[in-house]
Amino acid sequence: MGKMLMVLILSGFVFVGAILILQPEWNAKNWVDELHFVATQNPKAFWIISIGVITGWLWANYLIFEQMYLKSLTLMIVQKSQNLANVAQLPRFKKSPFIRLRPLIKSIDGIFEAMQESEARGNAIEQSKDEIIGNISHDLRTPLTALLGYLGLVKMHPGAPENNKYVNVAYEKADHMRTLVEDLYEYVQVNDKSFKMQLHLAPLNLSAMLSQLAVNYELEAQEHHVEISAATQPDSIEMYGDQNRLARVFMNLIANAFKYGEGATYIHLTARILDDDESVEVCVENDGKRIPEEALGHVFERFYRVESSRNVKTGGSGLGLAIVSGIVEGHNGEARVESDEHKTSFIITLPLQPDL
């Protein structure tokens, strides 16, 4: 208010001074009468000066209000900066009545939105790390406890006839732990930002790969009383990709069918060239227990298991399908699942020549 009063007084002095400067000599006894005389004798000049002074006064007040608004804006910025974690709860900056400040306010809002997104991403990453550590710790603790228990029995009773059994069980638990660690390492790799750069793309025969995998799993299929087969259309499909990574994709899907395809009688590996002649669709299909409808959208998430409890019997890490999704996306492909009462199909679509 002090500044506004000073501007008003200064404007008055400017107005009176400008009027009196026009008079070569005074025609009245005081400046008030002189102003009245000028307004009567030369009204055009009087009103031009009046409008000019009023305009200057208004502009000066506009600048004062703009400066006051800028100060309040600065305080709001400080407040938001100090409460960045709860920035979403703070109001957005209102549209400024001062045209010159509108681009600035829009930019500030954009900066805070970016900071909020960055904060949310950081929290999500931190939560993700905690989740990974918690899940892996849970999965490692069970076999490690059993391993130590069986080895403790061997140590306490050397030469006991049951020791061979205990050693075999301890070996199985150790192998399970190795699988968990390998899955975690693989998951971290496929989710690395530079994963695509790590792929070793080379020509490969997809038909031969699927046929070889079917042969490799023939013994395990017999143990599960399951028929495993591979067929492609055409008989030979040539494409580019990282052979080891893609083999891991189909191995994980086959292993998943063995573990969770309860009651299955077959596992079919099929592949066909799509109509665009630029992509191939690979399907790993079994006729086992269906996946619940509510779980279909989550099966490719890390640590997700369809069963409600963390089933030790299946021995899975909960990372197998997440690894599948990561490798397929690394090849610019797509992974999806379909399941009904007749069959469950994991469908992988891959470009014949990935453009990375």
Q: What is the DSSP string of 241-295?
A: E-HHHHHHHHHHHHHHHHHH-TT--EEEEEEEE-TTSSEEEEEEEE-SSPPPGGG
Bridging pattern class, strands 227-233 and 266-273:
parallel
Q: In this structure, are residues 44 and 37 in contact, taking their beta carbons and an 8 Å threshold?
A: no
Q: Is the pTM of this model over 0.75?
A: no
Domains and CATH numbers, the chain: 2-117 (no CATH), 132-190 (1.10.287.130), 200-351 (3.30.565.10)
Cis peptide bond upstream of 203, omega within 30: no
pLDDT tens sequence across 283-307: 999 999 998 888 888 888 877 766 5
DSSP-assigned beta bridge partners for residue 227: 266
pLDDT tens sequence across 27-79: 556 656 666 666 676 677 667 667 777 777 777 777 777 777 777 777 766 66
Question: What pLDDT score was predicted for residue 217?
Answer: 94
How many CB atoms sit inside 10 A of residue 174's CB? 16
Phi, psi of 37 (to 5 degrees): -65, -45
Helix/strand/coil percent split, the chain, to 5: 60, 15, 25
Question: What pLDDT score was predicted for residue 285?
Answer: 95
Q: How many residues does the chain have?
A: 356
Report the run of H or E that residue 335 belongs to, with start and end: strand 334-339
SS3 10: helix
Question: What pLDDT score was predicted for residue 310?
Answer: 42
Question: What pLDDT score was predicted for residue 204?
Answer: 95
Question: What pLDDT score was predicted for residue 233?
Answer: 92
62 Cβ contact partners less than 8 Å away, ≥ 6 residues apart: 98
How many CB atoms sit inside 10 A of residue 39's CB? 14
User: Residues in the chain with pLDDT < 70?
Assistant: 1-39, 41-42, 45-46, 48-49, 76-102, 104-106, 108, 112, 125, 128-133, 135, 138-139, 305-317, 356
